[in-house]
Amino acid sequence: MIFLSILLVLSSLLLIGLVLLDGFEALLLPRRVTRRFRFARLYYVVTWRIWSAMGWSIRKAKRRETFLSAYGPLSMVVLFGLWAIGLIVGFAVLHQSLATPLNTPGGVRNPFDYLYMSGITLFTLGFGDVTPSEPLGRMIAVIEAGMGFGFLAAVIGYLPVLYGAFSRRELPISLLDARAGSPPTAAEILVRIAPTRQFVALGRYLEEWERWSGEVLESHLSFPVLTYYRSQHDNQSWLASLTAILDTCALIMSRLRDIDPFQAQLTFAMARHAAVDLAQIYRSAPRPLESPRISPDADRELCETLRKAGLDVREDKSATAKFAELRAMYEPFIDALARHFVLEVPPIQAEGAVVDNWQTSAWMRRTSGLGTLTIEPDDHDE
Strand partners, 102: 132
Residue 127 shares a structural domain with residue 229: no
Asked whether residue 382 carries a pLDDT value surpassing 70, the answer given is: no
What Å distances lie between residue 58 and 52, 63, 67, 360, CA to CA?
10, 7, 9, 25
pLDDT digits (tens, 9 = 90+) for 199-231: 999 999 999 999 999 999 999 988 889 999 999
Phi/psi of residue 364, each to 5°? Answer: -150, 160
Specify if 277 maps to a domain. yes
Q: How confident is the model at residue 232 (pLDDT cuts 50, 70, 90)?
A: confident
Residue 61 makes CB contacts below 8 A (sequence gap 6+) with 234
Asked whether residue 381 carries a pLDDT value surpassing 60, the answer given is: no
Q: Tell the burial category of 381 from Cβ atoms under 10 Å away from its Cβ (0-12, 13-18, 19+).
A: exposed
- Domain boundary, last residue among 97, 123, 157: 157
Check: CB of residue 377 under 8 Å from CB of residue 357.
Answer: no
Give the Cα separation of 341 and 224 in Å (integer).
12
Residue 196 shares a structural domain with residue 152: no
Give pLDDT, residue 362: 62
- At 30, is the secondary structure helix, strand, or coil? coil
Q: Where are the extended beta strands (E) located within 26-166?
A: 102-103, 131-132
Specify if 165 maps to a domain. no
Asked whether residue 373 carries a pLDDT value surpassing 50, the answer given is: no
Residue 187 shares a structural domain with residue 321: yes
Residue 204 makes CB contacts below 8 A (sequence gap 6+) with 263
Give pLDDT, residue 364: 55
Residue 131 shares a structural domain with residue 210: no
Q: How confident is the model at residue 365 (pLDDT cuts 50, 70, 90)?
A: low
Residue 92 shares a structural domain with residue 15: yes
Residue 289 shares a structural domain with residue 185: yes
Residue 195 shares a structural domain with residue 343: yes
Residue 114 shares a structural domain with residue 227: no
Give the Cα separation of 316 and 361 in Å (integer).
43
Q: How confident is the model at residue 89 (pLDDT cuts 50, 70, 90)?
A: very high
Residue 136 shares a structural domain with residue 189: no
pLDDT digits (tens, 9 = 90+) for 18-32: 999 999 888 887 666
Give pLDDT, residue 26: 86
Specify if 368 maps to a domain. no
Give pLDDT, residue 374: 44
Residue 202 shares a structural domain with residue 312: yes
Residue 205 shares a structural domain with residue 140: no
Segments forming the whole domain that contains residue 143: 2-157
Asked whether residue 35 carries a pLDDT value surpassing 70, the answer given is: no
pLDDT digits (tens, 9 = 90+) for 335-351: 999 999 999 999 999 88
pLDDT digits (tens, 9 = 90+) for 157-182: 888 999 999 999 999 999 999 999 88
Specify if 378 maps to a domain. no
Specify if 103 maps to a domain. yes
Specify if 357 maps to a domain. no
Check: CB of residue 148 under 8 Å from CB of residue 86.
Answer: no
Specify if 171 maps to a domain. no
Residue 141 makes CB contacts below 8 A (sequence gap 6+) with 117, 121, 131, 132
Number of folded domains that form the chain: 2
What CATH number does the domain containing 97 carry? 1.10.287.70
DSSP 230: P
Give the pTM.
0.86
Residue type, 16: I
The C-alpha angle 99, 124, 43, rounded to 5 degrees, equals 85
Asked whether residue 280 carries a pLDDT value surpassing 50, the answer given is: yes
Residue 283 shares a structural domain with residue 343: yes
